[in-house]
């Protein structure tokens, strides 16, 4: 891979998500050689993907070139690579651009959409885990309305204007809210010759409340907010299949729809070689100890979504969100230096900073340790926190301006079909 | 196509470029039914495509949803459609979504890249006429540098870092300048482990000067600016072929390169049915009279790039740029109303507002009727004029902020490979 050998120990990081970037930053000025591998040349700010799908933000504003993050770090290398497998005996990572040996390996490969083995759903539904996927969804939504204009068949038209979101977590709730606002604010103007009242947004949740990881109060409020926006909230309902036309569930309810967004779960994106059964815990995540060391290894680590770390408060593993990833990345940075310097390691302690979700204009729910609040103030807090965590000064300004503009104008201007989705999937 | 018949005459416009949009706006409050057809749901601000290719602007900032432009116009319909042919006898337009009859038809289908019949060049080179094409070029440039890092073969590495731009018009000159600035300001930081001094930018012009449509002074200055930026300027040199590896020319000069950008010419994007030999003038453009009526028709018009209109000053037809398109669109709007009201038509008189090109930071050339100037002030004028003509208040702000940011930080943050180009073209 054309990377010089130095006298410094070599740390290979797989993945430039929240965990991998936090770790890389922590190692920036240390006497180690760091090689970051990612299949994209950019870091994605995943919490705002739903705004890309709904035309509120441009994709480039929530992405950031990884090379730019690393540019001032000496001893850093980035390679655009797909990791194919890990050979832990020989301390090698095999990729599509060749193999790479390591002294220490950090797996920060994140998570992927979990279809729970249903290949029909995988084939016909839309996911929203990456920027290309979010752009596909944006194109599909717009193409559906263009098609709805054309068909004389009322059933088909309804199916084209029906949106079924599976999963009542933050992603599903935020997308449902955004779609509802599009229905209300944009569709009637953009499609005056279409009865857009027929457009329906359904959110289907398997549990007995939305936002299951948050407080009861937040769940209740989120549901109220969504219903106020005209979203149909289905609880205790599980989707069993989607054949491209009909969504079936574990009850009598079914939906005829051209668009299913699958936000019903994620699982660890494991890598061949570190996927022996005894290494993998619930959620397809790699089991790690309190130092993020992979079970049975002293020189291989896993951080972020891919790492299964039990705590008292989280017996099923830490939540697969940004905060644990960032915190694990930072601590592992310190610990790797401790290893190199032969000092004892520090245990990871998760500082739960709370969680939040936005439902729409002036509507959000926030659970902090001591305070839980909902409504307008929560919405400002949500925006402030997200702006703070986006990487890049320019991105922050551009996102901020888009939000202000969208707020004042009740608008979302990025409703562009740059790469049509249907056309490329018809053949 | 599900569009109601009214008592108003029906005007069908093919194309939502500068000409089509200018016409539509002019007809907004008139007693006519207007149907605009375009293969995209957005208008593209073509003069800034090169900035998308070079990561300076996000694609969404130079696009604008056509439905939003038309939203306040009663009697307006937009349809996302590919026009397949025109049946002028039956007054029908055939599209991929069905046929549409018209009382008046306006062809504003613009221009397409002209490969002068060379299918090898068409296959292997990159064009920059649309947003997806510009994004493909952006991906390719970045992928080339990632690949250059990996190859141990010096010839291959050089080819990956060689950029050959064919065509010395504004597009070629502006792209060459932007690439040169990337080479200088961004590559050394992003690729510290690559000898980016090896990257070469060539611009190949068939004429004896760059910017052939502008003044001699501007041509000279543009060349000086480019050379100062390290661009190799080749004049009186014609590219004869590119096989994906080697660019051959009409002289001994040849280039080994992985990237050829073809900006050597455009031709009218004619439509079946209105393409009889006697209708088509130089540049594959449809011959029109001074009212933009297509030769031999009173109810079919052509405006913008697709229209071949001779004037004393422009015996080879008006230049294929934004201004004639906008002016023709506006006048035709007036004239269509005159036709409906049975009033005599006004002849088109082109008001040449001048032309300009930017070469890079603080460097531009401007030819106005009475003044010609080059340098920093020209650069400010260039920016102001482009900001003014971009459609959409939000787009203007976002473009402005990106420019300010890029100027202050010597940066271009949209260097993202969102949809890899090579991967999708390798199979």
Q: How is residue A48 written in tokens? A: 């705002």
What is the model's pLDDT at position B271? 97
Confidence (pLDDT) at A426? 59
The predicted-structure confidence for B304-336, as pLDDT tens digits, reads as follows: 999 999 999 899 999 999 999 999 999 999 999
Q: Do B413 and A402 touch (CB under 8 A)?
A: no
B chain contacts of residue A418, beta-carbon cutoff 8 Å: 42, 59-60, 63, 131-132, 135
Output the CA torsion B247→B250→B254→B257 (10° steps): -20
Residue B332: closest CA among A1, B340, B178: B340
Output Rg (C-alpha) for chain A, integer angstroms.
22
CA B206 to chain centre: 20
Q: Higher-confidence residue: A107 or A1? A: A107
- Where does residue B110 fall: left (phi above 0), alpha (psi -120 to 50 degrees), or beta otherwise? left
Q: Which of B356, B350, B325 is nearest to B17 (CA)?
A: B325
User: Which candidate in A45, A57, A60 is best for mutational testing of the B interface (most B CBs within 10 A)?
Assistant: A60
- Complex ipTM, two decimals? 0.94
Measured distance CA(A33)–CA(A75) in Å, rounded: 5
* Phi-psi category of residue B84: left, alpha or beta, with phi > 0 → left and psi -120 to 50 → alpha: alpha
CB contacts of A68 in chain B (<8 Å) are: 189-190, 411, 413, 415
Whether the pLDDT of residue A69 is over 90: the answer is: yes
Searching chain B, which residue's CA lies closest to the CA of residue A400?
A: B398
Contact criterion met (CB < 8 Å) for A413 and B392? yes
* Residue B96 pLDDT: 96
The full set of domain ranges for chain A reads: 10-39+81-113+266-340, 119-264+361-426
**Which of B149, B154, B406 to probe the A interface (max A CBs under 10 A)?**
B149
* Contact in structure between B367 and B219 (CB atoms under 8 Å): no
A193·B41 Cβ contact <8 A: no
Residue of B41, B415, B78 lying closest to A139 (CA atoms): B41
Beta strands at A246-249 and A254-256: parallel, antiparallel or unpaired: antiparallel
B10-39+81-113+266-340 and B119-264+361-426, same CATH topology: yes
Chain B: nearest CA to A98, how far in angstroms? Answer: 9
The predicted model gives A365-375 an average pLDDT of: 94
B290 is catalytic: no
Give the closest of B1, B80, B415 to A65, CB-based: B415
DSSP labels, B116-163: TT-HHHHHHSB--SSHHHHHHHHHHHHHHHHHHHH---HHHHHHHHEE
Chain B residues with CB under 8 Å of A42 CB are 416-418
Q: Kindly list the residues from chain B whose CB atom is less than 8 angstroms away from the CB atom of residue A79.
A: 146, 149-150
Specify the residue for token string 């990956």. Answer: B160
CA pair distance A248, A250, nearest whole angstrom: 7
Asked if CATH classification 3.40.50.720 holds for the domain at A10-39+81-113+266-340, the reply, yes or no, is no
Cα A155 to Cα A247, A396, B139: the distances in Å are 15, 43, 41
Element (H, E) at A183: helix A170-185
- C-alpha separations of B280 from A330, A397, B289, B304, B320 in Å: 67, 49, 13, 15, 15
Segments in chain B below pLDDT 70: 426-427
Q: Which of B68, B132, B190 lies nearest to residue A418, judging by beta carbons?
A: B132
Contacts of A3 in chain B (CB under 8 A): 193
**Residues A246 and A113: beta-carbon distance below 8 Å:** no
Cross-strand pairs, A100: A93
Give the β-pairing of B266-268 and B83-87: unpaired
Q: Which of A2, A60, A152 sits opposite B416 (nearest CB)?
A: A60
Active-site annotation holder among B174, B220, B256, B334: B174
B348: its two tokens: 């088109």
Locate the chain A residue with the closest alpha carbon to B194: A2
Contact residues, chain A, for B2 at CB < 8 Å: 149-150, 152, 193
The string of DSSP codes covering A345-392 is: PPPP------EEEEEETTEEEEE-SS-EEESHHHHHHHHHHHHHHSS-
Instruction: Name which of A321, A383, A380, A384 is nearest A352 in CA terms.
Output: A321
Cβ atoms within 10 Å of B67's Cβ, excluding its own: 22
Q: Looking at residues A378-393, what average pLDDT do you find?
A: 93
Average pLDDT (A282-288) is 97
| Chosen from B41, B73, B138 to mutate, greatest number of chain A CBs within 10 A | B41
Residue of B68, B79, B146 with shortest CB distance to A41: B146
**Catalytic annotation, residues of A:** 174
**In terms of CA atoms, which chain B residue is nearest residue A134?**
B418
- Which among A106, A82, A5, A2 is positioned nearest to B191, based on CA atoms? A2
Measured between alpha carbons, how far is residue A363 from residues A223, A322, A359 in Å? 11, 22, 5
Residues of B in contact with A143 (CB under 8 A): 80
Across A226-237, average pLDDT? 98
pLDDT, tens digit (0-9, with 9 covering 90-100), for A329-341: 999 999 999 999 9
Which of B77, B131, B415 lies closest to A418 in CB terms? B131
Contact B218, B374 (CB under 8 A): yes
CB-closest option in A2, A58, A416 to B149: A2
The answer to whether A288 and A302 have CB atoms below 8 angstroms apart is: yes
pLDDT class of A427 with cuts at 50, 70, 90: very low
Tell if the CB–CB gap between B191 and A131 is shorter than 8 Å.
Answer: no
pLDDT at res. B427: 46
Q: Which of A205, A257, A272 is nearest to A235 (CA)?
A: A205
Which pLDDT tens digit goes with each residue over A344-364? 999 999 999 999 999 999 999
Q: Which fold has domain A119-264+361-426?
A: FAD/NAD(P)-binding domain (3.50.50)
């Amino acid at each position: 891979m054309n990377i010089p050998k130095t006298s410094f120990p070599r740390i290979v990081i797989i993945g430039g998500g929240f965990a991998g970037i936090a770790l890389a930053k922590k190692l920036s000025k240390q006497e180690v050689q760091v090689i970051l591998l990612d299949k994209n040349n950019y870091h994605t700010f995943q919490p705002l993907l739903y705004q890309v799908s709904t035309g509120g933000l441009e994709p480039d504003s929530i992405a950031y070139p990884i090379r730019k993050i690393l540019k001032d770090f000496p001893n850093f290398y980035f390679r655009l690579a797909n990791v194919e497998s890990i050979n832990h005996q020989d301390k090698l990572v095999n990729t599509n651009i060749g193999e790479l040996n390591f002294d220490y390996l950090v797996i920060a490969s994140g998570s992927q959409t979990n279809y729970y083995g249903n290949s029909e759903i995988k084939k016909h539904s839309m996911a929203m885990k990456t920027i290309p996927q979010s752009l596909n969804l944006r194109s599909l939504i717009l193409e559906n309305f263009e098609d709805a204009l054309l068909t004389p068949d009322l059933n088909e038209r309804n199916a084209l204007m029906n949106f079924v979101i599976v999963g009542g977590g933050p992603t599903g709730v935020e997308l449902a809210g955004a779609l509802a606002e599009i229905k209300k604010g944009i569709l009637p103007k953009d499609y005056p010759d279409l009865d857009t009242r027929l457009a329906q947004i359904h959110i289907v949740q398997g549990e007995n409340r939305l936002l299951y990881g948050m407080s009861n109060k937040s769940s209740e409020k989120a549901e109220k907010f969504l219903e106020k926006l005209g979203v149909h909230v289905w609880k205790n309902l599980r989707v069993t299949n989607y054949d491209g036309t009909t969504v079936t569930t574990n009850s009598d309810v079914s939906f005829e729809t051209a668009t299913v967004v699958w936000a019903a779960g994620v699982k660890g994106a494991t890598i061949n070689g570190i996927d022996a059964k005894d290494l993998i815990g619930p959620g397809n995540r790699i089991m790690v100890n309190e130092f993020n060391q992979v079970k049975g290894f002293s020189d291989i680590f896993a951080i972020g979504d891919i790492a299964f770390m039990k705590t008292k408060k989280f017996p099923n593993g830490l939540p697969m969100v940004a905060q644990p990833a960032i915190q694990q990345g930072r601590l592992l940075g310190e610990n790797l230096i401790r290893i190199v310097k032969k000092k004892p390691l520090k245990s990871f302690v998760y500082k739960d900073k709370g969680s939040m979700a936005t439902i729409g204009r002036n509507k959000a729910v926030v659970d902090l340790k001591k305070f839980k609040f909902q409504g307008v103030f929560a919405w400002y807090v949500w925006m402030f926190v997200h702006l703070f965590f986006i990487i890049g000064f320019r991105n922050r300004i551009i996102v901020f301006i888009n939000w202000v503009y969208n707020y004042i104008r009740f608008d979302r201007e990025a409703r562009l079909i740059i790469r049509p989705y249907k056309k490329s999937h018809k053949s």
